[in-house]
Chain A
Amino acid sequence: MEGWDRARWAEVSAVESLGEGLPERRPGCGSLTLDPLRAEQLLVRAKAGSLASRRVTLTALEDDVDAFDARGWGDGLPVVPPTEARVLRMLEGTDRAPDEIVADVPPDLTPATVEKVAINAVLAGCRPEYLPVVLAAVEAACTDAFNMHGLLATTWFAGPMVVVSGPIAGDISMNDGMGAMGQGNRANATIGRALNLVVRNVGGGRPGGVDRATLGNPGKYTFCFAETPPPDDDWPNQATEIGAEPGASAVTVVAAEGVRGIIDQLSRTPESLARSFAEVLATVAHPKLAIAFDASLVISPEHLRVFRDAGWTKARLREELATLLTLDGADLVRGARDIAEGMPEAFCGGTLPKFRDGGLTIFQAGGGAGMFSAVVGGWAAGDMGSAPVTLPVRTTGKDST
């Protein structure tokens, strides 16, 4: 029953004189349980007992930001305090039980419950509807294939890059367009951050602790964007190539260091543009190292158009890049080109592929203007280090209201 209706309330309560002095009708909620000022109190009263995490009391003299920083529970930027109300609201983003284990999080291999992930999603600034994406990202990052432990412990730059594909990206207003890899979109910013906070707080992986990066990179705060939906089957999303159902919502995690731009404003043929891509890709990690490191290529719409207008499929581009990136061992061997770094002599008798099979991920993203694409170097390839992992996003079946 919505609002106040004297006759109906009198009927329900069987009290004839109910609400004397009140008007016959008044709009609003008769029970006040949905009153915005009370809903939160009622939520905490009803459900806070279901939360298992240790309670921490911050005193009146502690600043929220300082309190978390002092306990080592942040990434250097201010975090949102995970009050019971905020965590309970976050958990409304999933229908998974709060005590369900999502993954054993490296390096300590601490089991992360849905509740712990939700707490860190609050810290990161997520909205509840992002939680299913964060849960999938945590699960994917904690697989043996992705090897989050090694990626954290390496002295190399890389950290986890999170790419979201399928309808969930649009549903939560992620950015796959202009500035997709940059700042300014809450979902992009906070989903990537939440994953890194889970690794830090639940897994115990901290810079200077198990994280031994010589220099690191700013993407280790957060590195997350959405893949532009594929124009057709000729250019499938990377998630689909790894194994996601076509058109389904999925999260892909990839080891990633910094973003390097490729400028090519003059190529009007796919052959020429593919050569530009290959020249830059050949420099990943070091121009004289092959097979050892994976990489990602992020193709912008204006570059994609060059391939599509000429009838090249994504598979064709992959083949052509593989050919262009078959390198002469004599150029790579240690000492060649007067550079000590390079491949051991035993590998350099013939040719070598720059990337192992499956070692080059190709995403589509970016704004409509700019003949620029991006190379993102990875880390030690596949079984040697980390392989890209895609998992489906399990959204809730319940009504969002």
Chain B
Amino acid sequence: MSSATPMPGERTVLDPTGERSEATRELSDRPASLDGLTVGLLDISKARGDVFLDRVEAAFTERGIATRRYRKPTFTKPAPSDLRAEIARECGAVVEALAD
């Protein structure tokens, strides 16, 4: 950069960002089928998230798909890393009840 001759009017500034890749983040691969998988149902502690997940759970059960329930201690903070690890260990897919 400093060795190249600048074009007239060019200015060099420093990038103020974290310089993370500009590329969009890839989504994880989705399972082709839920057969044999356990689906995690994550309540983030927002009001009535449990009501929503009760309905989702009933719908999965009706179709013979196993589910497990999880709950974040508070919606104001990211999930504790051990909870994330637990879900990843025990489940093949997860449904998160985000809003109230």
Contact = CB atoms under 8 A, between A and B. Distances in A.
A123 to B, nearest CB: 6
Given A147-B76, A149-B78, A56 B14 contact: yes
B71 to A, nearest CB: 15
Nearest to A155: B99
A108 B18 contact: yes
Contacts of B74: 383-385
A72 to B, nearest CB: 9
A97 to B, nearest CB: 16
Interface stretch (A175-183, A195-203, A364-372): A195-203
A84 B10 contact: no
Interface stretch (A20-28, A57-65, A261-269, A354-362): A57-65
A123 B13 CA distance: 11
Contacts of A147: 76-77
Contacts of A110: 18, 20
Contacts of A383: 74
A73 B12 contact: no
Given A150-B76, A385-B76, A202 B8 contact: no
Given A154-B76, A384-B76, A385-B76, A116 B12 contact: no
Contact of B11 (A54, A57, A105, A120): A57
A51 B14 contact: yes
A108 B18 CA distance: 9
B16 interface: yes
Given A84-B12, A384-B76, A57 B1 contact: yes
Nearest to B7: A60
Nearest to B8: A60
Contacts of A197: 16
Interface of A is mostly: mixed
Contacts of B10: 57-60
A255 B13 CA distance: 32
A55 B9 contact: no
A380 interface: yes
Interface in A314-372: none
The B interface is mostly helix, strand or loop, or mixed, namely: loop
A119 interface: yes
B24 interface: no
Contact of B77 (A108, A111, A150): A150
Contacts of A153: 76
Nearest to B76: A150
Nearest to A153: B76
A53 B15 contact: yes
A64 B19 CA distance: 20
A84 B18 contact: no
Interface string B1-41: 11000111111111111111000000000000000000000
A77 B1 CA distance: 29
A59 B17 contact: no
A204 B18 CA distance: 8
B80 to A, nearest CB: 11
A202 B15 CA distance: 10
Given A57-B1, A110-B20, A84 B14 contact: yes
Contact of B16 (A48, A57, A111, A123): A123
Nearest to B6: A57
A115 to B, nearest CB: 8
A116 B9 contact: no
A202 B17 contact: yes
A383 to B, nearest CB: 8
Contacts of B7: 59-60
A53 B8 contact: no
Interface in A87-110: 87, 105, 108, 110
4 residue pairs, one from A and one from B, having the closest CB atoms: A60-B9, A110-B18, A150-B76, A54-B15
30 contacts: A51-B14, A53-B15, A55-B1, A55-B15, A56-B12, A56-B13, A56-B14, A57-B6, A57-B10, A58-B11, A58-B12, A58-B13, A64-B11, A73-B16, A81-B11, A82-B13, A83-B14, A84-B14, A108-B18, A110-B20, A111-B18, A116-B16, A119-B14, A147-B77, A150-B76, A202-B16, A204-B17, A204-B18, A385-B74, A385-B76
Interface of B: 1-2, 6-20, 74, 76-78
